[in-house]
Structure 1
Amino acid sequence: MKKSFLLILLALAACKNETKETVETVTDTVVIDTTAIRVAEEKAGEDNEPIAPERTTANPDEYVTGHFVSNKDVTAMATLVREREGNPSEDGTAAAYSITFNDPNIPALPAGCCEMILVNEGDLNGDGLDELGYAQAPMNGCVFYYYVYTYKNAKWKQFIEPFVIPTGCDGISRADMEKIVFKEGNVIYFMQTDMNDEDMEKVKTKAKLL
């Protein structure tokens, strides 16, 4: 009888040890799986983390100086802003530009795509400061879009309604750009290309103020 009772106790003890080992094994497995998931999640987080904009000077020769915000000379420069990694020729991501200034207190003027020509338009609105113009040729360079900005209340504001300058893919110089927007008396004009004329003659057109 004592032998039987001893055998039962040994069997229970063995069973308990086996159960403990099994639980420990399962617990170890769960820890390993959890670690793997955590590592995978951290890796995914790193891959999806946004890339900080990288600012580089796109064309250091493309700049213009003027009294844009005060009576002292300020230099504006076309600057490339890389918003994310990628090759534009492969994935179609266009380069983005910003007009930056040598005075850190002047906010940058976002300009989008693509390369541009900067122009000091002179004082168009009679406030004693120069307006800043720029021509930009998205993608193919055959058509320029022209913008004029003024600095008011510590912000850049579009001064006239943007317009299109077709070039026939021949490009355009800063000297030609400087003749496009001008002031006569108190009226501001721009030279608009007549698309119905085979020689694409330019017609003096009153600008729409914004």
Structure 2
Amino acid sequence: MPPRLQTLEYLIYLEIFNSTIKQWNASAAVVSTHQPRLANIVLVLVSNITSLPVGLTQPQMPAYAVEICGSDLEKLPVDIASKWSPRLDVLYIERSQLSTFPRAVLDFSVIANVSLALNNVSVLPRELFAMNSTSFLTLSGNPITAIPDDCAAPSHVAMLDVRNTSISSLTRCVGSAFIDGAGSPLCVNGGVGTINESKQQLSCGNGGREMTMFPLAELVVARAP
């Protein structure tokens, strides 16, 4: 990434599509002093980012939406919440290589929409369901077998997507969420016996809907030559 990226003071939307990121140093860092208006960072079908590039991990990164879909990203820095904007509202890391839940997500105080669809996450931390700000949580396509059952209080999540996971029952941690469970054991026998709270709602339809929050198929068509 060239250092002149820092001269784009009116940059609002940054997208990298179908690329290999060979180098993205601090000299081309995305920071509020150089791109104060930047709202969205979108990385789609990118490689060579098993960890986030240095240019995306500097203090005062201003964007409030970071969307990564189709990458070899394996982890988030543990201190990334102290570097990225405290206004971060949307975080998608989809179709990537996460093997454990990135606990750094728990440190974002106002994040409302989180998607880790189509990774390799198998265990969820109970603290995930204690995040008061998160309304939409997408975990579809991960080898998750269970939802924690030892939460201090029910979750504030309004929409929980666990399609095509191995989750077979729900717990009080889910609270009164609407659960999309198509393709999971939750929907065996039409979902009978899987609801633990009277206000929980389970949907077993829409199995053919896109698994990710990011509209990858639409973007690929739009970017086609």
Flag whether TM exceeds 0.5 (same fold). no
- TM bucket (normalised to shorter chain) is under 0.3
Which is richer in helix? 1
Q: Which has the larger radius of gyration?
A: 1
Q: What is the TM-score of this pair, normalised by structure 2?
A: 0.24
Please state which structure has a larger fraction of its residues in strand. Answer: 1
